[in-house]
Amino acid sequence: MALQATPYKISLDISDTDRGVYESVKFTVARHPSETELRLASRVLAYAMFYHPHLAFGRGLSDTDEAALWEIDLTGEIQHWIDVGLPDAARVIKASRRAPKMSVVVYGNARLWREKVLPKFAHLNNVNVFVLPQNELAEIAEKLHRSTHWGVMISDGQLYISDGDEQVIVALECWHGEMPEASL
């Protein structure tokens, strides 16, 4: 019998002073049976970082032709393709051709990926690469429950994630491109 995806009900109060985005959003995200807690937490943080009313979760792990997240306009055109993890260069290049904007949110031990993969697409102007620090991401992943309510403030490239009891500060590092900017 195949394992089922686990639904997570997420509520985010987003206050992104860098982009001028202030929204309270609720959504359900499915955790694929083979998905780690770190990857799920990365997808949720990417949702907050790039929030747009048309941003949606793709099937990601179960469909390699879809992004982890993507912004699709009302005509059905992909405006922003967002991957999380350590995608290979071919995937990044292909995605950069499918959307005017492509972002990668890297987590995990990415030093080797940075040395070997990033140079293969460094010439692409529409690709941005952001890094989530391992220790802070692990702390956030521990706080991600089947029903989660977080306040996420983004200011000067830092994420402040609060669950009401504690706050975790995540300093985003930009390895390629520019920090997210207003697109609303």
Q: Using one digit for the tens of pLDDT, what is the confidence trace for 50-68?
A: 999 999 999 766 667 899 9
In a domain, 181, yes or no: no
Token pair of 91 as six digits? 């995937």
pLDDT of residue 184: 45
Q: Which tens digits make up the pLDDT trace of 10-33?
A: 999 999 999 999 999 999 999 988
Q: Which residue has the higher pLDDT, 182 or 102?
A: 102
For residue 88, the number of C-alpha atoms closer than 13 Å in the C-beta half-sphere is 3
At 163, which amino acid appears?
A: D
State the total domains in the chain. 1
Give, in degrees to the nearest 5, the angle at Cα 106 between 104 and 112. 115
pTM comes to 0.93
Instruction: Indicate the pLDDT class of residue 3, thresholds 50, 70 and 90.
Output: confident
In a domain, 1, yes or no: no
Which CATH number fits the domain that encloses residue 102?
3.10.640.10
In a domain, 184, yes or no: no
pLDDT of residue 33: 87
Range of the domain at 144: 6-176
Instruction: Indicate the pLDDT class of residue 156, thresholds 50, 70 and 90.
Output: very high
In a domain, 34, yes or no: yes
Cβ atoms of 83 and 91 closer than 8 Å: yes
In a domain, 37, yes or no: yes
